[in-house]
Amino acid sequence: MAVFTGAGVAIVTPFKENGEVNYEEFAKQIELQIAGETDAIIVCGTTGEASTLSHEEHLDVIRYCVKVVNGRIPVVAGTGSNCTETAVYLSQEAEKAGADALLVVTPYYNKATQKGLYEHFKIVADSVKIPVILYNIPGRTGGVNILPETVVRLCTEVENIVGVKDATGNISQVAKMMALANGKVDLYSGNDDQIVPMLSLGGKGVISVLSNIAPKQTHDICAKYFEGDVEGSRKIQLEAIELIDALFCEVNPIPVKKALNLMGLNAGILRRPLTEMEDVNAAKLEKAMKGFGLL
CB-based burial label for 140 (10 Å; 0-12, 13-18, 19+)? middle
Q: Contact 66/41 with Cβ under 8 angstroms?
A: no
Q: Contact 6/195 with Cβ under 8 angstroms?
A: no
Helix axis angle for 279-291 and 254-262, nearest 10°, is 60
Q: Contact 188/203 with Cβ under 8 angstroms?
A: yes
Q: Which DSSP symbol is given to 15?
A: B
Catalytic residue numbers read 135, 165
Q: Contact 178/201 with Cβ under 8 angstroms?
A: yes
Among residues 167, 72, 174, 87, the alpha carbon closest in space to that of 122 is found at 87
Q: Contact 206/198 with Cβ under 8 angstroms?
A: yes
Coil vs helix vs strand at 21: strand
Alpha-carbon torsion (253, 203, 80, 142), positive or negative: negative
Q: What string of DSSP letters covers 44-80?
A: SSTTTTGGGS-HHHHHHHHHHHHHHHTTSS-EEEE--
Among residues 291, 208, 209, 214, the alpha carbon closest in space to that of 255 is found at 209
Q: Contact 210/192 with Cβ under 8 angstroms?
A: yes
